[in-house]
Structure 1
Amino acid sequence: MGMEELDEQDWDDAIEMLCQSKADELVLVGYEHVTSKDVWNCVSHKYEKEGIPPLHKLVNDILSLKATSFMNYLTMSALRGSTFE
């Protein structure tokens, strides 16, 4: 199956898998209770104004997310009174 044959659900599943992988990595380095949704909220937060980027950039943003960037996002969200869900 080529990439052009994947439907939206397949893309969503792939992105979910990447976010879960990053969440598992963050848990391994000591950040408890991180979910794939938390990772997605952090990564997608910067897309609010410009929209979702091309797939290669999205994948890079998820896989290159650093624990410090994730914690900065959580801190800023808490200070703004945002929910994480």
Structure 2
Amino acid sequence: MPIQFEQQFTHMLPALDSKKNELHLYGYTSVTEKDIWTYCVRKKWRRKDVASMRVFEIAKDILRISPAEFMTFTQIEEQRDSSWFSDLNSEELQALLAPQKVEKN
């Protein structure tokens, strides 16, 4: 994370904490301030120059995050990052994905 993101993250901790507490009320108790910040950087601000954003714009974006949009993003990121078959070698993977012959009676 570049220096400006770290400084802005520190300034935004009250807003991030408020959003974290809201998400905890909805049952998403594993969410952290860092998770919310990562969501904003990767999703909300991916085409913006965060360094040039004003404090109230950043806080507004954080506080407007809906639980549904945050969790959708989180689930998509988990699916992208997961390696479901990483423990299998190529032969095991081939056997798993090979079509099965169906016997007719």
TM-score (norm 2): 0.60
RMSD, aligned α-carbons: 2.1
Percent identity over paired residues:
30
- CA displacement, residues 27-70 of structure 1 (integer Å, 9 cap, x when unaligned): 01111211111111111213234220332221111011100011
2: CA distance, partners of 1:31 / 1:19: 14
Report the Cα distance in structure 2 between the residues aligned to 1:47 and 1:64, rounded to whole angstroms. Answer: 13
Structure 2 residue runs of 5 or longer lacking an equivalent are 1-5, 83-105
Question: Structure 1 residues 33, 42: CA separation in 2 closer, same or farther (over 3 Å shift)?
Answer: same
1:4 corresponds in structure 2 to: none
Correspondence for 2:73: 73
Provide the residue aligned with 2:98 in structure 1: none
Q: In the comparison of the two structures, how many residue pairs are matched?
A: 74
Query: Which letter does structure 2 place at the counterpart of 1:81?
Result: D
From 11, 25, 28, the counterpart of 1:28: 25
SS at match of 2:65: coil
Single out whichever of 66-75 and 53-62 deviates more from structure 2: 53-62
Query: How far apart are residue 73 of structure 1 and its match?
Result: 1.1
